[in-house]
Structure 1
C-alpha cells in the first residue's frame, strides 16, 4: 500500500459545516453564506455567489420548462465561463446529469459522444454555435434568449448522494470515448484534499488555465465555490500575458501543467515580479524535473503540490505536498506522492493481481469513495476495470518505494501526455488505419521540448501505396483534435513483434526516443 496523507475532514464541508454530497447544493450553500463575494471574474464582468446561484436556478427552470426530467443529460460545449458553471449547477438543480464536452474534438468525435450521451439539451458557447445541427435533440446557442423571463426560483431538487451527479467523457484504449459517471459523494470526497492540503479559503483567488472539460479544471472551479474563493476565468494568450495576469490579479492558487510552468520561468520579467500573493501552484500529468522545481521554488516562493489521479477517480488520489518538494530526499520529486487517507492505492501484478514488493513495477489499483460509479451504458467496460470489491484498475504502471511513495512508469495503456492532454494511441491508430494507403501503424510518444511528449506514427504502407507523411497528418487532422494528431510519420517495412505476434511498442519508443520534436 502507498503511505497516506492525513487531513482533518475526509469529505469537503460547506460553510455551515455540513458535508458536500450533492452537486446542486454547491451554489445554494455558498450563496447563503457569502452572497456578495465575487464567485467568478471574467473578461465580461464579475458574478457574485448570489448571482451565480440565481443564474443557475434560472437555467434549472428553463430546463424544466423544456421538459428535462431527472436523470436526463445536459451537455455544455464551450470555453470556460460563468455560463458553463451556471449550466452545470442549473442542470444539477433540475435533477439532470451535466457533462462538459471537450472543445478540441473533431466533428465526427462530437457525433459519437452526443449520440452516446443523448443529451436532452446541448448548450453551445459562441465559438461552437455552428455545431447546433449535430445535437440529437434541443440545442441552445444564445443563453440569454433561451432563458427569457424564467424566474430565479430554485426548484429544490435533491438527488441521492450515490446517484450519478456529473459525467465526463474520457477516451480509452479501445479508441471510443466513455462516459465516466461520478456521484455527489465522490465529488465531496475528491474536494476535501483540495480545500485542506492546498489551503483554499475565503479570500483566495484561484485560476486554472485548464479546460473545465478536464476533471482537474472543473474540480478546482467547484472547490472554489465550496471554499468561497474568487475564480478567475481568463485565457492569457502568451507567457507575457500569463505572467501579468497572475501578478496583477493577485492569484493565490494556480493550476499549471509542468510544461506551462517551465515556459513561464523562461519569460522575461518573471524573475523580478512580485509573487508574494501566490501561495500554491498545483500541477499534475507528470513530475517536474528537479532543476525546474528548484528554480520555481526560488522564483515564486510558494508551495508546490502535485497530484495523481484519473477522471475515473474524480481527480487526484495521491499528493506530493509542499513539504515533500523541500525534502532533502530529492528522489521524491520523481514520485506522485502519497495517497489521501480515504484512498487506497496498491501496485499489483497485472495478471495475478497479487501485490508486488516495494520497488517492483506493476499495475496501479485505486479504491475509495471518490472512484466512479461506472461507465455510462457500458457495463462490459465497467467490469473490465472495476472489481466487485471496488478496486479500479488504472492501467498505469507504477511502483512503491520503501517510504511508501508512488512512482509512475511506462503507461500500461501506452497513453501519451502532450501538453497536459491525454492522447490514446489506439484512437489515433484507428483513424490512420482507415487511410487506404496504410497497412499497419503504431503510434508512440517521443520527447518534445515544448509539450513534454508528442505522438508520432510509425507506418507500414499498403502494397503499391505511395502515401506520404503530410497526407497522413492531414487525414488525421480532419478526423481528430489536433493535439491527438501525429507531428511526424516514419515509414518502415515492418513493425517489431514478438514470437506471438504482439507489437513491441517499447522497442519503437526506444528507437525514436532521440527524435526530439
Structure 2
C-alpha cells in the first residue's frame, strides 16, 4: 500500500517503512530516525501498551512537548487500538485533571519537569477535587525504557472509521470539549492538505506548532508521513533556535501562526543565518496582515505562502488558499473549501457553516453540546462570522461575539486590525470593543511594536483616520509587549476584555 492510500494511521506508519525506508522520518537533536526505525519504535510502544492492558477504544493521554518521544507515543497509542488524548503543556493540574476525567483516560504519559512544571505533583493535588477513577497509571518519559521492557502482541484490529483521537477544544469559551475524530478523517483530509500546501517527498518540516494541537499533529506529523517528509520537532518556539534549525537542517517547510513569521522577520540577527532553503509557509489562526505575506515572499523568497481555516471540530482544516493566489487573496481570505467539504454563510447571523467528511463525529460523551454544534443536516456551526466572495473564497470577519456595534454600525475587529498592521511601527495588533457612554461601544487596539522606538498613539490615531471610517477608528491604543494567545495561536480576546495581559 502507498502511504497516500492508507486510511488508518497504523497503515500509514507501516506503508512509510516500506516506501520511504531509509529516508529520515524524525530528526530531534542527536536522535535521527528513519521511516523503518520509526515504524519499529511505534510497534514496540504499541506492544508495551498492550502489555499494560490497553485495547481498542481505550483513551491514553499524552502530556509532553514536541519531540521524537511524543511522535512515537502518539502513533503507538493508535497502533495499539487506543484513542490519543493530547494535553496542553501549559495546563495546570486542575486543567489536566478535567480532561483526564472527561475522557476517562486509562494511562497518562507525561514529561514531568518540562520547563520546570511539576505536572505529576500538580495533578495529584488536583485529583483531590477531581477524582480520576479510570486512570490506571502515570508513566513519565524518564521511565520510557522501563515501560518498553514488557511487551505483548497487539490484538486490536484498527479500522478506518474507528476513533483515532480526542482533541479537546481550546476552551476560549466555556469548558473544553473532546472532538471525536477518526483515522479516515485524518488521513484523507491531510492528503488534500499536503497537496495544496505543496508538501513534497524529501521536504524537511520544522514542527513548531504544538503537537497537542490539531494542526501540529495532523498538518505536521500525519501530513509529513503521508508525503515522506522529515519532521524536525521544536519543543518551544525561540526565534534564534528556529533560525539555527532552519539553517542547520535545511528546513523547507515552516507552518505557523503569523506571530512566528513576524518574530523571524523582525529579529535583528536574521541576516546572520542562511534561510535560503525555506520554500513553504502555511499560516492562519488569526488576522494575517497583507504586508506580512508580501515580506515573506520578498525578504525570505518563499515560493509558496498560503493561509487556511479550520477548527478542532473540522479535523483542523476546512478551507485553504491555493499556491498561486496573490498576496492580497492569501492575507485577506482563508481560501476556498477543500474538495469534499462545503462552506456556506448563515444568511441571518453571518455565521460560517461547514459540512463534509472532515466534521467531527461529535463531542465525547456530550450529546447536548454535539447537537448545539452540528445541526440535523450535518452543518457544523463554527461560531465565526464570515463572507464568501464570488470565487467561493472565505473571509473571516470575526467571532460572532467579537463583533461590536458602534452607534448602530457593526464593527469587525479583523478589518480594523488589517489596517493598523500596515503601520511601519506595528508588529501585531488585536482590536476589541469597549464600553462607551455615547456610542455604546468603541474600538480599542492593543499594539505590539516592531523593534525600534514604539509608535506614538497619536500617530496611530492619525494613521487610522485616513484609512478607516470614523466608527471603526480605535479611540484608544494600548502598547503591550505581547498578545495573549492560546496553543493554537489565537489571540485570547477574553483576556484583553478582562484586562488580564
Counterpart pick for 2:97 among 106, 111, 114: 111
Q: Which residue of 1 aligns with 2:332?
A: 334
Q: Which residue of 1 aligns with 2:346?
A: 348
Q: Which residue of 2 aligns with 1:27?
A: 13
Contact 1:15-1:227 at 8 Å conserved across structures: no
1:332 CA drift (Å): 5.5
1:271 CA drift (Å): 5.0
Structure 2: how far apart are the matches of 1:413 and 1:185? 33
Per-residue CA distance 1:291-334 (angstroms, 9 max, x = gap): 222122111111101110001111121112331135xxx35631
CA RMSD, aligned part only? 3.1
1:79 CA drift (Å): 0.7
1:131 CA drift (Å): 4.7
Alignment map for 1:35-54 (pairs within 5 Å): 35-54=21-40
Would the alpha carbon gap of residues 39 and 143 (structure 1) be closer, same or farther in structure 2, given more than 3 Å must change?
farther
Q: Which residue of 2 aligns with 1:209?
A: 208
Contact 1:93-1:156 at 8 Å conserved across structures: no
1:84 CA drift (Å): 1.3
Alignment map for 1:302-381 (pairs within 5 Å): 302=302, 303-326=304-327, 330=328, 333-350=331-348, 362-381=350-369
Choose 263-272 or 97-106, whichever is displaced more. 263-272
Counterpart pick for 1:102 among 88, 112, 119: 88
1:198 CA drift (Å): 2.0
1:256 CA drift (Å): 2.1
Structure 1: how far apart are the matches of 2:330 and 2:43? 46
Per-residue CA distance 1:120-171 (angstroms, 9 max, x = gap): 11011132344563563311013424424345x7636432322211110114
1:194 CA drift (Å): 2.7
Alignment map for 1:326-475 (pairs within 5 Å): 326=327, 330=328, 333-350=331-348, 362-414=350-402, 447-449=446-448
Would the alpha carbon gap of residues 489 and 400 (structure 1) be closer, same or farther in structure 2, given more than 3 Å must change?
closer
Structure 1: how far apart are the matches of 2:444 and 2:46? 43
1:397 CA drift (Å): 0.4
1:237 CA drift (Å): 5.7
Alignment map for 1:171-210 (pairs within 5 Å): 171-172=170-171, 175-210=174-209
Please tell me whether residue 15 in structure 1 is matched to residue 2 in structure 2. Answer: yes
Contact 1:332-1:405 at 8 Å conserved across structures: no
Structure 1: how far apart are the matches of 2:34 and 2:234? 17
Q: Which residue of 2 aligns with 1:149?
A: 149
Residue-pair matches, total = 412
Q: Which residue of 2 aligns with 1:289?
A: 289
Structure 2: how far apart are the matches of 1:26 and 1:332? 31
Structure 2: how far apart are the matches of 1:231 and 1:86? 12
Choose 96-105 or 262-271, whichever is displaced more. 262-271
1:185 CA drift (Å): 1.4
1:22 CA drift (Å): 0.9
Contact 1:190-1:315 at 8 Å conserved across structures: no
Per-residue CA distance 1:23-78 (angstroms, 9 max, x = gap): 22221111122222221111242122222212221221121111122111000001
Contact 2:55-2:80 at 8 Å conserved across structures: yes
Please tell me whether residue 88 in structure 1 is matched to residue 88 in structure 2. Answer: no
Structure 2: how far apart are the matches of 1:388 and 1:223? 31
Per-residue CA distance 1:388-446 (angstroms, 9 max, x = gap): 332111111001123322110120154999xxxxx9x9xxxxxxxxxxxxxxxx9x995
Structure 1: how far apart are the matches of 2:240 and 2:3? 41
1:89 CA drift (Å): 1.4
Contact 1:43-1:234 at 8 Å conserved across structures: no
* 5+ long unaligned stretches in structure 2: 404-412, 415-429, 433-440, 451-490
1:377 CA drift (Å): 0.3
Would the alpha carbon gap of residues 378 and 236 (structure 1) be closer, same or farther in structure 2, given more than 3 Å must change?
closer
Structure 2: how far apart are the matches of 1:108 and 1:446? 33
Q: Which residue of 1 aligns with 2:280?
A: 280
Structure 2: how far apart are the matches of 1:232 and 1:47? 11
SS in 1 for 2:158: coil
Which structure ranks higher in relative contact order (CA pairs < 8 Å, sequence separation ≥ 6)? 1
Would the alpha carbon gap of residues 322 and 146 (structure 1) be closer, same or farther in structure 2, given more than 3 Å must change?
same
Contact 2:17-2:39 at 8 Å conserved across structures: yes
Contact 2:65-2:89 at 8 Å conserved across structures: yes
Contact 2:359-2:380 at 8 Å conserved across structures: yes
Structure 1: how far apart are the matches of 2:43 and 2:329? 49
Would the alpha carbon gap of residues 236 and 186 (structure 1) be closer, same or farther in structure 2, given more than 3 Å must change?
closer
Structure 1: how far apart are the matches of 2:186 and 2:370? 19
Structure 2: how far apart are the matches of 1:331 and 1:29? 37
Structure 2: how far apart are the matches of 1:409 and 1:40? 38
Q: TM-score, normalization: structure 1? A: 0.73
Would the alpha carbon gap of residues 150 and 44 (structure 1) be closer, same or farther in structure 2, given more than 3 Å must change?
farther
Please tell me whether residue 121 in structure 1 is matched to residue 118 in structure 2. Answer: no
Contact 2:208-2:237 at 8 Å conserved across structures: no
SS in 2 for 1:70: coil
Structure 2: how far apart are the matches of 1:65 and 1:450? 54
